[in-house]
A and B are shown apart, each in its own frame.
Chain A
C-alpha cells in the first residue's frame, strides 16, 4: 500500500541552525501539507501546497519557514534559523484531487537545543 514517508524520524539541531525536513508523498497525489504538534498541544496546520505553490499558510508559517517540491517527488519543509519553540513533531500529508482525506507520514521529531 502506498504511503507517505518522512525523513529523518528524529533530528536534533542547535538553535539558529537551518533544518530541512523531507517528505515523499504518495506518487499520484497533488495536494501536500505540513502540520506540527508541539508536545502536549494540538496538531496545527502549517501550510498547504498545490500546483507548485503555497495555497494556504497559517500564522505560524512565518518567513523562517519555506516549502519546496524540488524534483517532483520530494516535498520539503525548511526552517531557516531554528528556535527552541520549533521543537515539535512535524507531519507531512498528501492527498489526491478526488479524495477528501489526507494521508500522513510517521512524522519527524525535531528537537532544538
Chain B
C-alpha cells in the first residue's frame, strides 16, 4: 500500500541549531515528493519538491531536502533554525504517472511533524 511515514511527531530545537525532519515513503515507483509547511492559522505552503534530477533540492525559507532512493527517504533539513520556523511540517507524495483522470495527482500525506523552536 502507498504510504508516507514521518517518524517524529514532535521535535523541539533551539534557535540557531540545525534541523532534520524525516520522511519515508512506500510506493511502487519513485513518486513525486513534496514538503509542505503549515504555520498556525495559515494554509499549507509548499516548501520544496522533487521530481527528478539532482537529489538535493532547495526550497524556500532556507530549507533543503535530499532524496535517497535506496532508503525511500526525502528528509528535510535546515542548517540554522529561526523562531519563525515553528510550524507543522508535512511530507507528501504524488504518483509519478498520470492517472486515468488526466493529470490528476492526488497527494498522499504523512502524519506531520510539529516543530517547536526554543529561544
Contacts and interface: CB of A to CB of B under 8 A. Distances in A.
Interface of A: 4, 6, 31, 33, 35, 41-45, 48, 50-51, 55-56, 91, 93, 95, 97, 100-107
Contact of B43 (A4, A55, A97): A4
A80 B51 CA distance: 38
Contacts of A44: 109
A16 to B, nearest CB: 29
B42 interface: yes
Interface of B: 32, 34, 36, 41-46, 49, 51, 90, 92, 94, 99, 101-112
B106 A42 contact: no
A109 B31 CA distance: 30
Given A45-B107, A104-B43, 13 more contacts: A31-B104, A35-B109, A41-B111, A42-B110, A44-B109, A48-B101, A50-B103, A56-B99, A56-B104, A100-B51, A102-B105, A105-B43, A107-B44
Contacts of B36: 104
Contact of B102 (A6, A33, A55, A93): A55
A45 B109 CA distance: 9
16 contacts: A35-B107, A42-B109, A42-B112, A43-B112, A44-B109, A45-B106, A45-B108, A48-B101, A48-B104, A50-B102, A56-B99, A56-B101, A91-B43, A100-B94, A104-B44, A107-B43
A94 B106 CA distance: 11
